[in-house]
Structure 1
Amino acid sequence: MKKIYLIAVFCIGVISAQAQELKWHTDVKEAIAIGTKENKPLLMFFTGSDWCGWCIRLQKEVFKTPEFTKWAQEKVILVELDYPRAVPQTPEVRRQNYEIQNAFGVQGYPTIYFAKATKTEDQKVNFMGLGKTGYVAGGPTAWLGVADEILNQK
């Protein structure tokens, strides 16, 4: 009986941990569709996930915290635009990421842009930039304070 109880507790723990995980979209078109449907801006995280020390630090100190998870689920659609050195990417993802990097003029990592995206009648995407940030010292409270300032300027 104790084994069944322990297994049940373990399964519930795994399920609730999975429910807390955030969805980082890598397909920008999919993220735009969701953002439009939910009326949420995109948080576009430009990162060098396997080599950029500040990107890794931002992930650890902010993006993987319960405070950020709760905030992000309520306020934004997450988009990861990765520029790795050793992790393979499909040619489509690589091309998409470089096109968006050029469109926003991103020159360093980490860079986080907040934007609303709309499609025109001929299916072209227009981004309305709301603001940008990067690594902010002070953990999730400091970073979320900056992010909220950007989002509240709408």
Structure 2
Amino acid sequence: MKKIIVALLLFAGSFAAEAQELVWETNVTKAMAISTETKKPLLLFFTGSDWCGWCIRLQKEVLKTPEFAAWAKENVVLVELDYPRKVPQTEDIKKQNTELQMAFGIQGFPTIILANATTKEGKVNFEGIGSTGYVAGGPTAWLAVANGFLKK
């Protein structure tokens, strides 16, 4: 019986480890380079990580699940654009995030934008693929929305 319990704990732990392996870039320039190299679109997650209740709920119910982790590794380059109230950020990150918030017209959190990015003559152009936020129903429901954007 102990062996079964240990095996189940190890199995469950492997899913938790997989979800934690995701890399969320905070530098959009670096994320764009990865996107170009991998030919995957950007998933831009606009969040108030330490104060926005819906952002925290989206993280818990979707973004930190094994289902999302597996999907993200195959389909997108993850970018977190955070607007915290208590966690300090560098001035460069604050400036970058503010510029992207204005460029995309973000008015509420959480907002997730799927986009392709190109640089031409030193200027960045974003081509929006789709936009969503919190979707009730866990990872299955959320991924159905995201996959709908990617299939277009």
Matched letter for residue 62 of structure 2: V
Q: How far, CA to CA, are the matches of 2:117 and 2:40 in structure 1?
A: 9
Partner of 1:26: 26
Partner of 1:148: 147
User: Aligned Cα RMSD in Å?
Assistant: 1.7
Partner of 1:50: 50
Matched letter for residue 130 of structure 2: G
Stretches (4+) displaced over 3 A: none
Identity, in percent, stands at 66
Name stretches of at least 5 consecutive residues in structure 1 with no aligned partner. Answer: 1-9
Partner of 2:130: 131
Q: How far, CA to CA, are the matches of 1:108 and 1:145 in structure 2?
A: 22
Matched letter for residue 48 of structure 2: G
Aligned-pair distance for 1:19?
8.5
SS of equivalent residue, structure 1 residue 24 = coil
Q: How many pairs are equivalent?
A: 140
Per the normalisation by structure 1, the TM-score is 0.87
1:54/1:19 CA distance change after superposition, 3 Å: closer
Q: Is the 8 A contact 2:18 2:69 kept in 1?
A: no
Q: How far, CA to CA, are the matches of 1:35 and 1:147 in structure 2?
A: 17
Aligned-pair distance for 1:18?
6.4
